[in-house]
Amino acid sequence: MNKLHINPFIGQHCESTALVNLLNQRGIHLSESLVFGLGQGLGYIYWKSKGMDFPFLGGRVKPDELTENLGNALNLSITCKETGSVRKAWNNLTDEIDAGNLVALKLDSHYLDYCKEDFHFAAHYVTCYGYDDKQVYLVDSMSPNKENTTSIANLEKARNYKGPMASKNLSFSIQTTETKQDLSKIIPESIMRKAKSYLNPPIQNMSFKGIFKTSEVMVDWLDTVEDPQKNLPAIGLLMEQAGTGGGLFRKLWAKFLEESAELTGNKTYLQCANQYYNISEHWSHVAYLIEKAGKTMTQAPLKQASSILAQLSIDEKLAMEKLYSTSSN
């Protein structure tokens, strides 16, 4: 057995939870909301492709981008490894653990021994801090337990899954760093970059434009989504509890703006934080309405959710414009 000593952090979002744990090991102690904000994590995408039973509503930037952005903001040395070989993937993990490094893994949560959900989600992140000849030891935002275990065989299945948003057995670790950063200077740059990218989405399915598109197409979901009685509640569950969309990321962003106001003295950040707290509540209600539409097989909740999202597309655009203006001065 090789098991590293760790004081596990269990956060709200899987990728930011993994990053907080890796940073803590290096003596960099940041809140999850600061990690999320400095990583420019807020976003939105509506995604539906062949092979998907139902649309994916993502409330964050695409997987792995949060880690990349945070690394750039804090000037971190991040070692990232991918491979199509299950054996090499295992060696990549154990080599890092043997060297004393915590490792973040991207995988399909469905195969983890303690996962209770019956759908696949291949953009889930966990922190691995040990292994023996039968199992690995994980910290996971999906579980309230400070110690979680899954068999080596199931971990291999989870890491090697080939579904949407999957990577090839991706793992990464943060190397020792002594970089000291002035957050009061880094924060406005991160916010400005996030606001600029959000206000200029490359396609209509993203950011405030994607929110509005979702408001248009969702009224027909009872007819266009496969097995809506099963899959609409799954959409709502993913949004609100699994963290793909819903209010979670807006709450994290709001908390980040609150902390940013305190660290920079910029009162506009606090005003925008209050806006995003309000926005987050509406997102949570949308998730509830989508779930209700599936359970009752009625269209009225979808029409109500559509109306809310149409307004949220406007509200989020205005909030980001205010953030861009105050951060680029």
For the chain, the structural domain boundaries read 2-30+78-174, 183-327
Q: What is the mean pLDDT of residues 73-83?
A: 94
**Is 46's pLDDT higher than 70?**
yes
- Mean pLDDT lowest for which of 45-54, 158-167, 210-219, 259-268? 45-54
Amino acid 116: pLDDT: 82
Q: What is the mean pLDDT of residues 270-288?
A: 96
Contact 49/164 with Cβ under 8 angstroms?
A: yes
Amino acid 214: pLDDT: 96
Percent of the chain with pLDDT over 70: 97
Amino acid 258: pLDDT: 98
Amino acid 179: pLDDT: 63
Residues 154-189: tens digit of each pLDDT: 999 999 998 888 899 999 999 876 666 789 999 999
Percent of the chain with pLDDT over 90: 81
Amino acid identity, residue 246? G
SS (H, E, C) the chain: CEECCCCCCCCCCHHHHHHHHHHHHCCCCCCHHHHHHHCCCEEEEEECCCCCCCCEEEEECCCCHHHHHHHHHHCCCEEEECCCCHHHHHHHHHHHHHCCCCEEEEECHHHCCCCCCCCCCCCEEEEEEEECCCEEEEECCCCCCCCEEEEHHHHHHHHCCCCCCCCCCCEEEECCCCCCCCHHHHHHHHHHHHHHHHHCCCCCCEHHHHHHHHHHHHHHHHHHCCCHHHHHHHHHHHHHCCCCCCCHHHHHHHHHHHHHHHHHCCHHHHHHHHHHHHHHHHHHHHHHHHHHHHHHCCCHHHHHHHHHHHHHHHHHHHHHHHHHHHHCC
Q: What is the mean pLDDT of residues 287-302?
A: 96
Residues 228-242: tens digit of each pLDDT: 999 999 898 888 776
Contact 77/179 with Cβ under 8 angstroms?
A: no
Amino acid 56: pLDDT: 87
Amino acid identity, residue 142? M
Q: What is the mean pLDDT of residues 272-288?
A: 96
Contact 189/293 with Cβ under 8 angstroms?
A: no
Amino acid 244: pLDDT: 67
For the domain bounded by 2-30+78-174, which CATH number is listed? Answer: 3.90.70
Averaged confidence pLDDT in the chain: 93
Q: What is the mean pLDDT of residues 69-83?
A: 94
Rounded-to-integer distance, Cα 2 and Cα 129, Å: 8
Structure tokens, 49:
């492709």
Angle separating helix axes 248-264 and 267-296, nearest 10 degrees: 170
Rounded-to-integer distance, Cα 218 and Cα 22, Å: 39
